[in-house]
Every structure is written in structure tokens, then in C-alpha cells.
Amino acid sequence: MRILGIESSCDETGIAIYDDEQGLLAHQLYSQVKVHADYGGVVPELASRDHVRKTIPLIEAAFAEAGCGPDDLDGIAYTAGPGLVGALLVGTSIGRSLAFGWGIPAVAVHHMEGHLLAPMLEDDKPEFPFVALLVSGGHTMMVKVSGIGEYEVLGESVDDAAGEAFDKTAKLLGLDYPGGPMLAKMATHGQPGRFTFPKPMTDRPGLDFSFSGLKTAAANTIRKEGDDEQTKADIAHAFQSAVVETLAIKCKRALKETGIKSLVIAGGVSANTELRQKLERMMQGMKGRVYYPRTEFCTDNGAMIAYAGMQRLKAGQYAPLDMKTKPRWPLDSLEKV
């Protein structure tokens, strides 16, 4: 079976073609970073317009890359939520309309399920069950995964997501959008130990996250101390360390509570080098394994949507003809495959 995947939930237009026997045949991605950089963040209306301009040309490019066409497809998967409603509507309307016109099924995919299953695109795949840390600009959650569609949310952010806190702190440090990766780069020049920030909600039971207080602590320190570049680097180092330590503590707690030895990290922040190294060391000490997608599949992309859509297509879970988006869509409400 072969499926076309369309991702348009925020500021990346991702298109991919996936074959259940041959694997990933094509992967096209357009980032809107330059479009939103002058505004310091994503402007929803501009994001929607850019998806309108880019989606069809990227689909054509994916067909050319894969050496196939519409007649070779068995279905189309598109991101139906969660995300920006206008951006979701673009991918949903194009994906659903093409599926209708080509006479093939359409599959509505949950964006976070796509991230959660992204490590399955690698040769070294995790086996069920595993604990997943989904950490991005819009979401931070801990999930027990017993199978596809069998998700138990163990904890999630009660305010800012980790990636959002990264971006907002980076902006306070005077870094351009998107700030998270730039803050991580600045942190490599920071002096360890000069500043210490709190590790929120680690001193109490539970697996929920909160990063607004950490962001405020960083903001106060930047106002008081952040006059020179070395100080800013030291603050960036302390901030990143606090986020990484917090995530690691929560992961260890989730693994102990569930008795599971496999950990998956996915989402944009999973590309953070310090986070990967920290979790790898932790899992070695726990005699377990950590899995994550290659860097290009950490951020939003069509490949993860195509893979997730393929699993639901093979299970006969198709989208109806009406075009529905779900800007808010609980992960644990998905149907089991």
C-alpha cells in the first residue's frame, strides 16, 4: 500500500509518500521561518496563505521524487488537528478533495500521534509498550503507549510548553525567531554554575509540567544581569539545563511508575543535543533504551503523517466526506488500531 501524507498544522508544509513495503519514497518540506521572523512568532493568517501557495507544488515535487503519480496511491493522510485552525483547513481541504477526486480513501491524522510514531520511520524501532515524551513548541506531554491508538496521557503542561518557553526566553535574550535552537547554540558557550534556575514541579508527585515560572525566573535574571554576551550565554546555559533536568526527572518517574524500560522522545525539542545526551545517560543507568527520530523528523513533517495515516488506512479507518478540523483534539480519544 502507498499513501500521501500532508502536514500543515502550523508553520511547516510537509509532504511525503510512504509505502508499507518500501518505506519512505519521498519527503518534501517547506519552512515558513522567513515569513514569520519579522514578527517574532507565527502569524496564523500568513501561515495559512503560505500553505495555500506551497502545498500543491510540494505534492508535485513529491510525486517526481518518488517516481509515481496519483494512480499509484491507495490513500491520502492529512493532519486534522491539533494546530492552527486556518492552517489545518488548508491541508484538510486539499487532502480530502484530492482523495475524493482520485477515488481513494482519506485519513484524518492526529498531529501528536504523528510525532509519537515518528521513530517508527527509523530502522531501529521501539517495540510496544513504551513511554513517550512529546515535547515541542505547542505541547509537552508524557504518554504511556501500549499500541497504536492505545494512549494513556500520564502528564502534560499546565501552561507553557517546553518549546514555547525556549522561544520566549530566547526572545528575551535578543535572539531571532525561531529562538529555541539559537538559545541551545548560545548555551554551548555558557559557564556552568553561574546561574541556577528552578526545576518546576519536580518537588511534588505527579507527571505534569509547568515552565512559566522558569521563564519568569529567566526573565528576571536577564533584566538584572543580562548586559553582555557572556552573561547571556550563562543564562541560556542555566535555562536549558533546568528544562533538560526537569524533563529527565519526569521521564525517570514515569518509567518507574509504569515499569517500562523503553523511552521515546519526539517533537521539535527532541532534537536538542543536551536533552538527548541526558536521556541516553539516564537510560543506560536504568538498563533501558531511548529512541528518537532523526533530526529532520523531529520538527513537523509529512513523513510522520504518512506513516501514522498508513497504520489507520490499513485498519480501515477512513475520514468521511465532510471536512472537519480539530484545533483541540485529546490524544487519548483516538480509536485503537
Q: Which of 33, 2, 32 is nearest to 20 (CA)?
A: 2
137 Cβ contact list (under 8 Å, min separation 6): 10, 161, 163, 164, 166, 167, 178, 180, 268, 269
Q: Mind spelling out the 3-state secondary structure of 53-84?
A: HHHHHHHHHHHHHHCCCHHHCCEEEEEEECCC
- Crossing angle (nearest 10°) for helices 273-285 and 229-258: 40
* Ligand-binding site membership of 101 (annotated): no
Longest pairwise C-alpha distance within the chain: 62
Cis-peptide into 205, omega within 30 deg:
no
* Ligand-binding site membership of 14 (annotated): no
Report the DSSP beta bridge partners of residue 317.
none
* Ligand-binding site membership of 5 (annotated): no
CA 320 and chain centroid, separation: 26
Are 32 and 44 a contacting pair, CB within 8 Å? no
* Ligand-binding site membership of 160 (annotated): no
107 Cβ contact list (under 8 Å, min separation 6): 3, 75, 76, 77, 78, 309, 312, 313, 317, 318, 319
The CA distance from 313 to 46, in Å, is: 32
SS3 108: strand
* Ligand-binding site membership of 51 (annotated): no
* Ligand-binding site membership of 137 (annotated): yes
* Ligand-binding site membership of 136 (annotated): yes
* Ligand-binding site membership of 220 (annotated): no
* Ligand-binding site membership of 138 (annotated): yes
* Ligand-binding site membership of 38 (annotated): no
* Ligand-binding site membership of 71 (annotated): no
> Given the C-alpha cell 554554575, which residue does it identify?
193
Annotated binding site for substrate: 134-138, 167, 180, 272
Annotated binding site: 111, 115, 134-138, 167, 180, 272, 300
Annotated binding site for Fe cation: 111, 115, 300
